[in-house]
Amino acid sequence: MNYTLNIKGRLLDLSEPQVMGILNATPDSFFADSRKQTEQEIADRANEIVAQGGSMIDVGAYSTRPGAAEVTEQEEMARMRMALAVVRREQPDVPISVDTFRADVARMAVEEYGADIINDVSEGADEAMFRMVARLQVPYILMSVQKDLHDTLMAFAKKVQLLRDMGQKDIILDPGFGFGKTLDENYRLMNEMEKLQVMELPVLVGISRKSMIYKLLGIDQSRALNGTTVLNTIALMKGASILRVHDVKEAVEAIAITRHLTPTT
């Protein structure tokens, strides 16, 4: 299906899958190479994402890796403000996604820096976030922490209806690979991912260098690029509209190759 997102009155066409590059303004995100803390590092990363073909930048200021240090809302806001100011300066026209589960951080990012998308990894655990994005009227990424396809669809259906009732328009679904799932549960969900299309909403996949890859292969994150590309390609063939990645160039190449395939008759 062909989807669009309303980005400040401009429609972003998802008929061709898009690449969302990850920019972590954190000292402790799980993939060390993604950690950018100085203004120069953030500027370089933002420009690299766009130069390699990324069409969105996802800015995070609070690591969600297991065992990461808890960060106060004030510290998350301070990190986010610094990063957003730099990204807006370097890439003023590129849609920015903000990776946060806090409603006030989302509000600040949109109202102060014109952030375009809110990426919430909490499955909407706090309905204050639902009310906030509905008020802000920016696209919202709803992630699932459920273990299987059935529970994922049931949770999505309930949360999407709640968002619709609040007036939210653009909703993107993230099946939540790596969140609340065992290694085998992650792969079972990937195997059935095309069934998420029944929701008639765009799907974002974020599996970049995650443990479902490196633990299966007996390697570490630094050597998980090949496995990431394999799973990104499978996700594209199962209907993913957005790939959230550390390695933008390789994801862009995966899209170019999969789009060149034509169904047999």
pLDDT of residue 179: 93
Q: Is the pLDDT assigned to residue 67 strictly greater than 70?
A: no
pTM over 0.85: yes
- What is the rounded CA–CA span in Å between residue 26 and residue 29? 6
pLDDT of residue 85: 96
Where does the pLDDT of residue 264 fall: very low under 50, low under 70, confident under 90, or very high at 90 and above? very low
Q: Which residue has better confidence, 51 or 29? A: 51
Query: Catalytic amino acids?
Result: 210, 244
| pLDDT, tens only, 91-115 | 999 999 999 999 999 999 999 999 9
Q: Is the pLDDT assigned to residue 249 strictly greater than 60?
A: yes
pLDDT of residue 223: 95
Q: What is the mean pLDDT of residues 220-228?
A: 95
Is there a contact between 97 and 138 (Cβ–Cβ < 8 Å)? no
| pLDDT, tens only, 31-47 | 555 556 689 999 999 99
**Residue-wise DSSP of 168-231:** ---EEEE--TTSS--HHHHHHHHHTGGGGGGG-S-BEE--TT-HHHHHHHT--GGG-HHHHHHH
Q: Is the pLDDT assigned to residue 263 strictly greater than 90?
A: no
Burial of 19 (0-12, 13-18, 19+ CB in 10 A): buried
pLDDT of residue 126: 79
- What is the rounded CA–CA span in Å between residue 90 and residue 93? 9
